[in-house]
Amino acid sequence: MAAALAEEEASYGQLVSLGDAEGILGAALSLIRKGAMEDVVFITAYTFDQEGIVDAILKARDAGRVVYILLDHHCHSVGQAKNQAAAVARLVSRGGRIRFAKGRSLRGLYGPALENKFGNLHAKAMFIGRDMVLGSLNWSRASSANLELGVVVRLSFEQRQELGRSQRGVGPVLAQRGKGEGGTNGEGLLWTRPWA
């Protein structure tokens, strides 16, 4: 269960809650359900088939909210999460914007034998408006049985804009709502365009 913490302003945002798998999942569901129409829902995931999250995202999409999901390419292609392909198909059929990413080339770490091998998108995060849900929890059904830890952090408007100006990771998504220039760094997907 999520434990409410004293709200203290920090240079990196305000810690709203700290929790285990159940608490962080509950916090994420609450943020999706209570978000304003203009709040983009952006999720990064290694595995993704948690039914409650998928259902909440579908309701948000049906209400006209913008939803972006960035999933690990390898994990999805090998079907690591039992119901991920079905979850992705449901979201795409209802206007969810889903892209796949991979990490950086492993060649530099392990030599030419791994010329075409890449690391994973292992980030497990959710961004909704000014709120970020970060932690070890995969957005998958199996994660509810794991020992997990996560936090909900609320950014000030200025912090949110600063994150949006970042040239790496999710920055363009947060700042430009899908209007980024796109591209890669040659070592894995950082951002793709278009989402529409």
pLDDT confidence bin for 8, thresholds 50/70/90: very low
Tokens 């793709």 sit at which residue? 192
Share the mean pLDDT of the chain: 76
pLDDT tens digits, 94-108: 888 888 888 888 888
pLDDT digits (tens, 9 = 90+) for 145-168: 888 899 999 988 777 777 666 534
Which residues span the domain enclosing 23? Answer: 17-156
Is 187 inside any structural domain?
A: no
* Residue 170 within any structural domain of the chain: no
pLDDT at 87 over 80: yes
Share of the chain above pLDDT 90, in %: 19
Q: What is the CATH number of the domain that holds 130?
A: 3.30.870.10
* 170 compared with 134, residue with greater pLDDT: 134
Asked if residue 136 is part of any domain, the answer here is: yes
Bigger pLDDT: 39 or 185? 39
Q: What pLDDT score was predicted for residue 31?
A: 94
Which DSSP category does 38 fall into?
A: T
Domain count, the chain: 1
Residue at 142: amino acid letter:
A
Does some domain include residue 175?
A: no
Backbone phi, psi, residue 126, to 5°: -140, 135
Contact assessment for residue 153 and residue 17, using Cβ atoms and an 8 Å cutoff: no
> So what's the pLDDT on residue 27?
93
Please state, in angstroms and rounded to a whole number, the distance separating the CA atoms of residues 103 and 128: 24
The maximal CA–CA distance of the chain, rounded, in angstroms, is: 51
In a domain, 111, yes or no: yes
pLDDT exceeds 90 at position 55: yes
**Residue 186 pLDDT exceeds 60:** no
Q: Is residue 59 part of a domain?
A: yes
